[in-house]
Amino acid sequence: MAVYTHLGAEALARLIGEYALGELISAKGIAEGVSNSNWLVETTKGRFILTMYERRIDTAQLPFFLGLLDHLAAKGCAVPATIHDRSGAAFRHVDGKAVALIEFLPGVSPSVPTAEQARSAGAAIARVHLAAKDFDGNRTNDLAPADTLAILEKCGAEKLATIDPELPAILPLASDLVAHWPQDLPGSIIHSDLFPDNVLMLGGEVSGMIDFYFACNDAMAYDLAVTHAAWCFPEGTYDAALGHALVAGYESIRSLEKTERDALPLLARGACLRFIASRAEDWLDTPPDAQVLRKDPMEFVRRWQFYDDAGREAFE
C-alpha cells in the first residue's frame, strides 16, 4: 500500500480542522501510487484526496503543481482543484512533510481502454494545453530526451545488458534522436505522463486527469506522443483504432500544425526513450529480493521500433 507514513486519527482530525471541511468521518489509505502516501478522506462536507509528499517531488515546486490544478479546474478542465486551508494556503506541513488536499473526482481508470475512451482522452489533453497557455507558472522538463539519454549513459551498456542483451543498442539510436530533436514546436504546459491509470473515466468520458507532478513547459505535440505511446499498445501490440481515436479526439479540440504532425514519429520515439530510461534505472536500482514488480524497459524498445517502422502512418 502506498502509505509510507502513519497518521493517527487525532493527527488527521487536527489536520482536517485546519480546513473549512466540517468534521472528519473516515480516512482510508490508497494502494495506488509509488512515491507518496495517499488517503481517501471523508468529512461531513464531502470526499477529498489527501497526499503526503514522501520522495521524488521537490516541495519547492508544489506551488507550480497545485497552482496549475487550480488554474485548469477554473477553466473547466477535468482536473481536481486544490483545497486551500483557512489561511488560503494550498499545502501544509505535518511532521516536516508537505501535505495537500485535492478535490475527489469520481471515475475508474481503464485497464484496457476503448476507442471511445481514447478519443475522450485526446480531447481532454488538448483542452489542458489550450487552458494552460496563460498560466503564469513555468517549469523546465527535466526528463527531456537529453536528460533521459544521460540516465541510460549513467547506467552504462554493461549494466543495461544485464536487463536484456539487446538493450544497449538503444544508446546510439538515442544519441541520434537527441541530435535531431525539434526545438521550435508550439508549446504550452503539458502533463507528460498521461498513462491510462492517470485518467478517470465515467463510461466513455474523461471525468478526471490526475498526477500532474511531471507537468512542465514543452511541446504540445510531444505530450500527445507520450499519451499515444502510453495508451495504444494495450496487449503489447499497436491498436490502430486507439491511435486513430486518440489523435482524432485531440484534433477535435486543437488542430495539429504540419510541423507537429511531421514530427510525431520522432516525438513518439522520444516518449519511448523516457520510459526506457526510467524503467532501466528503476530495474537496476531495485534489489533482487525486493517485493516490487520491475517493469521491463524492452516493452518501450519494441514501441520505439514500431514508431520507427510505421512513421506517420501510426498517427493517421
Distance CA 243, CA 249 (A): 10
Q: Could you tell me the residue range of the domain that residue 155 belongs to? A: 115-315
CATH number (domain holding residue 181): 3.90.1200.10
- The answer as to whether 3 is a domain residue is no
Q: What is the pLDDT of residue 188?
A: 98
Average pLDDT over residues 19-23: 94
Q: How far is CA 58 from CA 52, 92, 93, 111, in A?
A: 12, 14, 14, 30
Is the pLDDT at 33 greater than 80, yes or no? no
Contact 30, 2 (CB under 8 A): yes
Mean pLDDT, the chain, integer: 93
pLDDT in tens, 228-266: 999 999 989 999 999 999 999 999 999 999 999 999 999
Residue 132 has which C-alpha cell? 494552460
Contact 54, 36 (CB under 8 A): yes
Domain count, the chain: 2
Strands 97-103 and 187-190: unpaired
What's the whole-number mean pLDDT along residues 3-14?
79
Residues 44 and 172 in one domain: no
| Position 302 in a domain | yes
Residue-wise pLDDT for 176-228, tens only, equals 999 999 999 999 999 999 999 999 999 999 999 999 999 999 999 999 999 99
Residue 88 is part of a domain; what is its CATH number? 3.30.200.20
162 and 276: one domain? yes
Q: Does 147 fall in a domain? A: yes
pLDDT tens readout for residues 63-112: 999 999 999 999 999 999 999 999 999 999 998 899 999 999 999 999 99
Same domain, 122 and 186: yes
Does residue 187 form part of some domain?
yes
Q: Indicate if 21 and 64 belong to the same structural domain.
A: yes
CA distance 50 to 52: 7
Question: Would you state the pLDDT for residue 201?
Answer: 98
For residues 210 and 38, give the distance between their C-alpha atoms in angstroms, rounded to a whole number. 13
pTM summary value: 0.93
- The one-letter code for the residue type at 34 is V
pLDDT over 70, % of the chain: 95
pLDDT of residue 38: 86
